[in-house]
């Protein structure tokens, strides 16, 4: 029998460190990386670009199915292209995150993007970052992680990121946005945000990025998946 391509799923709320941790672990292992949240952000961005209402579920789902996106890596850095245009920074705004959360609550959109996400599973392995990677998209993954942190800590981290990027933002407003997004993501009827039954939960509130990466390396080694570490 052909050995299945291993998948490490990393789910959790926004600001828990999923993106940073996932990219570092993927680089360390030499595995592919799936940023599923980017697909929803790109879908929302494309809908706005083409004047499609975000509550028009059928139209947004059709757009998601034919989404013209690419994730080329140039000079060691990943880029995000939508219909040929560079949108790497544009899709990372808080506003786009809010729109993506609305789009992600639409069942038809999630169905349209499901197979596109599974197609990222290629040798030698995949690190899948998202909110339902372990519960819906890769239910047979040998290692599932649920990263979390307090809402206050996630707001503080986001505030620091924005400051470093030269952008102004209110810490209190960021906290409210994170709490609202958490509520929407955990209470949606399809694929609500929650740990998979067999996931390992890691609270990163008081952990540094290197500490989390090392912890994941240990867990991967325990599963016999860490040949690249």
Average pLDDT over every residue of 106-111: 94
> Which positions make up the binding site?
12-20
| pLDDT above 90: percentage of residues in the chain | 68
Residue 211 lies in a domain: yes
The predicted pLDDT at position 15 comes to: 87
The chain-wide mean pLDDT, for the chain, equals: 91
Residue 94 lies in a domain: yes
The predicted pLDDT at position 109 comes to: 95
pLDDT band at 41 (very low <50, low <70, confident <90, very high): very high
Average pLDDT over every residue of 27-55: 93
- Per-residue pLDDT tens for 115-174? 889 999 999 999 999 999 999 999 999 999 999 999 999 999 989 988 887 888 899 999
- Measured CA to CA, the distance from residue 109 to residue 227 in angstroms comes to 36
Residue 87 lies in a domain: yes
In order of 40, 59, 137, 156, the CA distances from 119 in angstroms are 16, 23, 10, 35
Q: What range does the domain containing 133 cover?
A: 7-219
- Measured CA to CA, the distance from residue 179 to residue 222 in angstroms comes to 35
The predicted pLDDT at position 1 comes to: 59
- Measured CA to CA, the distance from residue 177 to residue 155 in angstroms comes to 9
CATH code at 115? 3.40.50.300
Total domains in the chain come to: 1
- Per-residue pLDDT tens for 48-69? 999 999 999 999 999 999 999 8
pLDDT band at 229 (very low <50, low <70, confident <90, very high): very low
Residue 119 lies in a domain: yes
The predicted pLDDT at position 227 comes to: 54
> Which positions make up the binding site for ATP?
12-20
Average pLDDT over every residue of 201-226: 94
Taking the model in full, what pTM does it have? Answer: 0.86
Q: CA nearest 21: which of 224, 219, 194?
A: 219
The predicted pLDDT at position 228 comes to: 44
pLDDT band at 102 (very low <50, low <70, confident <90, very high): very high
Residue 226 lies in a domain: no
């Amino acid at each position: 029998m052909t050995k299945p391509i291993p998948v490490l799923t990393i789910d959790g709320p926004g600001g828990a460190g999923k993106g940073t941790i996932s990219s570092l672990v993927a680089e360390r292992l030499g595995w592919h990386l799936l940023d599923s949240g980017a697909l929803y952000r790109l879908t929302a961005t494309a809908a706005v670009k083409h004047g499609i209402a975000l509550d028009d579920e059928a139209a947004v789902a059709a757009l998601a199915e034919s989404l013209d996106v690419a994730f080329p890596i140039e000079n060691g850095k990943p880029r995000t292209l939508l219909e040929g245009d560079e949108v790497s920074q544009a899709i990372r705004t808080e506003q786009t995150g809010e729109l993506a959360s609305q789009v992600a609550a639409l069942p038809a959109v999630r169905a349209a993007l499901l197979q596109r996400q599974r197609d990222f599973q290629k040798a030698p392995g995949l690190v899948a970052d998202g909110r339902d990677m372990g519960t819906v998209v890769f239910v047979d993954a040998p290692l599932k992680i649920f990263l979390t942190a307090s809402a206050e800590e996630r707001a503080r981290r986001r505030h620091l990121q924005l400051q470093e990027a030269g952008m102004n933002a209110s810490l209190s407003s960021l906290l409210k946005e994170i709490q609202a997004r958490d509520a929407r993501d955990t209470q949606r009827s399809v694929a609500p945000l929650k740990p998979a039954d067999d996931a390992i939960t890691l609270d990163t509130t008081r952990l540094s990025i290197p500490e989390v990466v090392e912890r994941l390396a240990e867990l991967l080694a325990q599963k016999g998946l860490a040949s690249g570490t």
